[in-house]
Amino acid sequence: MKKILITGVAGFIGSHVATRFLREGFSVVGVDDLSSGRLENVPKGLEFIKGNLALTSTIEKLPKDCNKILHLAGQSSGEISFDDPVADLEKNTISTLNLIFYGIKNKIERLVYASSMSVYGSVEDKPVSENHDCIPLSCYGVGKYAAENYLYIYQNQLASTVLRMFNVYGPGQDLSNLRQGMVSIYLAQALNDGQIEVKGNTKRFRDLIYIDDVVDIWFRAATYRSAIGKTLNVGTGIKTSVEQLLNKICFLIPNSNFHVQGETPGDQSGIFADISQLQSQLGVTSFVSVDTGLENFINWTSKSHQ
């Protein structure tokens, strides 16, 4: 039974990815410092280590016999990254560098890294491909791109795959965090008091990808030989404007409405993915629609808050 290390295992995406690997018969070791993830998210049946991966004391606790590293730990908000850029650098870049050295030392066969669309910065109104210039607008984006470059530098000693995540949403997302996750922020406000406060204009657009699709892509990226050495966008290739998203939420949640107020620092005006590499390298062909994904998300929130 192959053993894999999953970081950020108490977080939204990490916990879902761990559940999939456990179901597929892998032995999973999960790491999280619980600064934003929650212990109750950690799936049953894995070995859990609490610790901050920016510290060598945590790295020393990791098992020596893992085959793969799936690195999803980190601070994941562009807005929050401006509060403490040094802490953001530690969580997103230093942690990755530490895991690279750990991977090389223990002859780990592959590291799959959760990067972000934030590395691109401002882009034109057309699908953005992986070879687009990266000029991040936030401290978060800078840290993510730096980590990507460290992986590139050490690629001859540790095989890696970089997954640039677009706007992931769905059941299990933290509705109490109103500074991370566009869909979950709007949904939480609509469910709370029906008043959605929008930071930035509604003409902005995003590529919204449902959690189940993301989990499947992570599984393929960790197990397909074709993924090694690749940088891949994790999106649907479908452009959804903020206004379209808000109208869908307000339709699904009666008596909710939205108003625009202020802006978010370091926010991208609009971005959606060119997914031709995702399709050709990993064979991904279909995605859950935004309408279906939102309905699933809202149904989950009503059940989980009963």
Just list the catalytic residues.
140
> How does 139-177 read in b/e, with b if 16+ C-beta sit within 10 Å?
bbbbbbbbbbebbeebeeebbbbbbbbbbbbbbbbbbeb
Helices (H), the chain: 12-23, 56-59, 78-81, 85-89, 95-105, 139-153, 182-193, 211-223, 242-252, 276-282, 290-304
Side-by-side strand order, sheet with 110-116: 47-50, 27-32, 3-7, 68-71, 110-116, 160-165, 231-234
Residue 112: closest CA among 77, 66, 169: 66
Identify the residue whose tokens are 């491909």: 129
Residue 43: closest CA among 21, 18, 74: 18
**Torsion angle of C-alpha atoms 98, 222, 177, 287, degrees rounded to 10:** 160
